[in-house]
Structure 1
Amino acid sequence: MAYKDEQLNEEKVFKDPVHRYVHVKDRIVWDLIAAPEFQRLRRIKQLGTTYLTFHGAEHSRFNHSLGVYEIVRRMIGKFTNYPHWNREERILSLCAALLHDLGHGPFSHSFEKVFKLDHEQFTRKIILEDTNIHRILKRVSPEFPKQVADVIAKTYADKLVVSLISSQIDADRMDYLQRDAYYTGVSYGHFDMERILRVMRPIEDQVVIKSTGMHAVEDYIMSRYQMYWQVYFHPVTRSAEVILSKILHRVKFLYETGYTFKLKPTHFQSFFNQEITLRDYLRLDEAVVYYYFQSWLEEDDFILYDLCERFINRRLFKYIEFNPNTQMKEWMELYRLFQDVGIHPDYYLVVDSSSDLPYDFYRPGEEEERLPIHLQMPNHELKELSRHSDIVESISGKKRTDHKLYFPKDLLEAVKDHKLKKQIKEILYGQGEGQLVD
């Protein structure tokens, strides 16, 4: 029997709090899960620093990857008898779903920004270069690893397969919304996935939704909207991310200026030098990063010590509403005043902005084409969701942006120059848009 068709002697199951069970019968899926590169995802949190806001958010990329695989497995099971579904794409779809987040690094997006990395690029490297994952995939065929990588990169020829994990209603989003809602303890991310799976229909290049399931999709879109603003963009989480990124910036600066570390940051050297090998990337996980943060509490550099201590002990920055587009004058004045009182503004005065576009359809001239969600009407005609749903139409194409200014209130209170302290406080808490939030 060919490796791609090989089945386990008995079905294996993972107990899962979101989907109840994750079912594995294919030998290749079982082998991929056991690979070290996939097991590494147990040591990468799904929600980065969110656990400092919602204490239950300790779940990993490993959890999420299994969940996306399970949803795709269930989708495919329902597509089997539809003419546009190619049964030969089954194992490819399952492998792409399982491996779609393989390249995430510690604290994912914060880490990527500092070192100018792209986790999707590293996902591709893990799949295509000399790794256990690559060797397992290659047992299917020499071209199979590239096919899996192409599905994840959205360049694979069969767009229907791509849409299962990369569209505006896909297995990736359906898992992380429910999983993140479960672990954070909020109610926003819950929607009727069973109903959505029942009304999904595969056509030539995408999955469409039977029109009778429109209300379940509306619920899904609004769940996503609420999760972004109540969980993913929570200002306390963003405060932790600001401190995390500033720790990494400070370490990079010290390394580049010849500072002598008591514990040499060996695991970070190739990142500082922009000579990152795949081996170096895979060696770095959140346990390793935490070890360095603990070690840097012993360093003589006050800024590095202070930032690490804040992160480890959750002494986060305070924040105010602050729009840099309309308050640049205040920003420049604050920057100067922070310098005058000896609080380094590059590390302790940070504007952070978050924005989200909950749903959109293709608009000519835009850089990124967003494949819309289509409803399949009783006569089989397709209608774009926002043209048929008042709820979705009301938020369609509307990008919402939120700006905050983060700073250490405790360092500010310790300033001895009362005149300068008063000037800073008047800008931060006084008239205008600034409003302190504890």
Structure 2
Amino acid sequence: MNYKDEKLFEEKVFKDPVHRYIHVRDKVIWDVIGTREFQRLRRIKQLGTTYLVFHGAEHTRFQHSLGVYEIVRRIIDDGFSGRTEWNDEERLLTMCAALLHDLGHGPFSHAFEKVFTLDHEVFTQAILTGDTEVNAVLKRVSPDFPQKVADVIGKTYPDKLVVSLISSQIDADRMDYLQRDAYYTGVSYGHFDMERILRVMRPDEEQVVIKFSGMHAVEDYIMSRYQMYWQVYFHPVSRSAEVILMKILHRAKDLHNRGYAFRYDPVPFKAFFDRKIELEDYISLDENVLMTYFQWWRKEDDPILSDLCNRFLDRKLFQHAEFEPATEYRKIGELERLFKEAGIDPEYYLVADSSSDLPYDFYRTGEENERVPIYLQMNNGELRELSRSSEIVEAISGKRRTDHKLYFPEDLLESGKDENPLYGKILELLKN
């Protein structure tokens, strides 16, 4: 039997709190799960620093990746298989892309990417096509199969319907992380009727479409996403922890570049500090490594690195204040001057951070990150863009919400304001 079609003697299942069970019958999928690179995802949290706000948010990219695979498996096997618009030959490719779409995430994901100017999708593709265990498994399907999986994840695969199942405004990735993140954070915002959405999903030539009768379930899904972003993903305390995490890495990189003699040599980070990253350097790094070094670096002689590590590990986070960059840019300049005069480095202790989200948008040709809209399939077969039928979606379409905050060590300023009047002046300026 061809490896592509080979089934396990007995179906394997993962017990899952979101989907109840995740079913694996394909030998290729089971072998991919067992690779070193996929198992690494057990050591990468799905929500980065959010566990410092919602203590249950300790779930991993491994769990999420299995969940995305299971949703795609159900869409194909229970809904699309046998339909003329769907090519059953794409089944295994689509499930592998779903399973492996987050393979290249680094420790603490987006914060790590920002510090070292990395792109997890680029590393996902590199892991899939490089000298790795997962590549060896995929090549057993066919020599070009790893590249096909990489193309789906990179959104360059010619079958756009396959790509839309993994990456679109209503894809398996979002459907899993909204429910999974809601479950582990304990909030109610991310819940929506996925069962209904799966029942009304239909394959079209270039993307998934939704039967008109399922419009209200899709409205609920979009509003769930909107609420999760502002109540969980952009929570100011989680952002404070992320700011400190990024500043730890910035400080360690700066010290390395200056020739600082670390008590605990940052061997796993040198390739990143020097911008000479090999694939093995990336795969070997996970959150356990970072947390170990943070424990060591809290004992470093450098007071800034030591303090930032203490703050992150002991949850002594920065406080935040609202600000508007367009009208308060002079305030930032004045605060930076006062920080320096008070002997506090504003590079590490006064941080402006912005969050922005566009919950739903329709297609705008030529614009950066143009988005393919969600289409409803009307009773006569016509396709209609969602916001033309839904007043709820129309109300938020194309409306980007942005939030700006300043982060600072209020505890340090409060404890020292009696001895240094500049501390009190800084606090007054920050709170007005």
The TM-score, its normalising length taken from structure 2, stands at: 0.99
User: Match for residue 420 of structure 1?
Assistant: 422
Runs of 4+, deviation exceeding 3 Å? 415-419
Partner secondary structure for residue 299 of structure 1:
coil
Q: Please say if 1:410 is aligned against 2:417.
A: no
Q: Secondary structure at the match of 2:23?
A: strand
Partner of 2:327, secondary structure, is coil
- Aligned partner of 1:364 in structure 2 is 365
In the TM superposition, residue 369 of structure 1 has moved relative to its aligned partner by 2.0
Q: In the TM superposition, what whole-angstrom CA distance separates every residue of 1:180-207 from its partner, at most 9, and x where no partner exists?
A: 0000000000000000000000011111
- Once residues 150 and 17 of structure 1 are traced to their aligned partners in structure 2, the CA distance between those partners, rounded to angstroms, is 31
8 Å CA contact 2:413–2:424 kept in 1: the answer is no
Confirm or deny: 8 A CA contact 2:93 2:148 kept in the other structure.
yes
Aligned position for 2:343: 342
Partner of 2:326: helix, strand, or coil?
Answer: coil
| C-alpha RMSD of matched pairs (Å) | 0.8
Q: Does 1:63 align with 2:63?
A: yes
Quote the residue 1:16 is aligned against: 16
Alignment of 1:34-183 (within 5 A): 34-77=34-77, 78-183=79-184
Aligned to 1:214: 215
Distance 2:267 2:66 in 1: 32
Q: Which moved more, 1:168-177 or 1:81-90?
A: 81-90
Query: TM-score of the superposition, structure 1-length normalised?
Result: 0.97
Can you list the C-alpha shifts for 1:29-84, whole angstroms capped at 9, x where unaligned? 00000001000000000000000000000000000000000000000011012111
Contact 1:373 1:384 in 2 (8 A): yes
Q: CA deviation at 1:425?
A: 2.2
Given that 1:341 and 1:417 are in contact with CA atoms closer than 8 Å, whether structure 2 keeps it comes out as no
Q: What's the CA shift for 1:417?
A: 4.9
> What is the aligned residue count?
430
Matched, 1:305 2:325: no
- Which one is further off, 129-138 or 364-373? 364-373
How far apart are 1:429 and its partner, in Å? Answer: 1.5
Contact between 1:341 and 1:415, CA under 8 Å: does it hold in 2?
no
Q: CA deviation at 1:325?
A: 1.8
- More displaced stretch, 415-424 vs 266-275: 415-424
Secondary structure at the aligned position of 1:375 is classed as strand
Q: Structure 2 counterpart of 1:426, which letter?
A: E
User: Relative to structure 1, is the Cα distance of residues 183 and 259 closer, same or farther in structure 2, using a 3 angstrom cutoff?
Assistant: same
Q: Report the alpha carbon displacement of residue 419 of structure 1 after superposing the two structures with TM.
A: 3.3
Alignment of 1:278-317 (within 5 A): 278-317=279-318
Indicate the residue corresponding to 1:27 in structure 2.
27
**Are 1:239 and 2:236 matched, yes or no?**
no
* SS of corresponding position for 1:364: coil
- For residue 167 of structure 2, what is the amino acid of its counterpart? S
Distance of 2:220 and 2:47 partners within structure 1: 22
Asked if residue 276 in structure 1 is aligned to residue 283 in structure 2, the reply is no
Q: Is the 8 A contact 2:40 2:286 kept in 1?
A: yes
Distance 2:145 2:227 in 1: 38
Residues 1:333 and 2:334 are matched in the alignment: yes
Instruction: Give how far 1:179 is off.
Output: 0.2
Q: Which runs of 5+ in 1 are unaligned?
A: 431-438
Shift of 1:297: 1.3
Q: Whole-Å Cα distance in 2 between the matches of residues 38 and 295 of structure 1?
A: 28
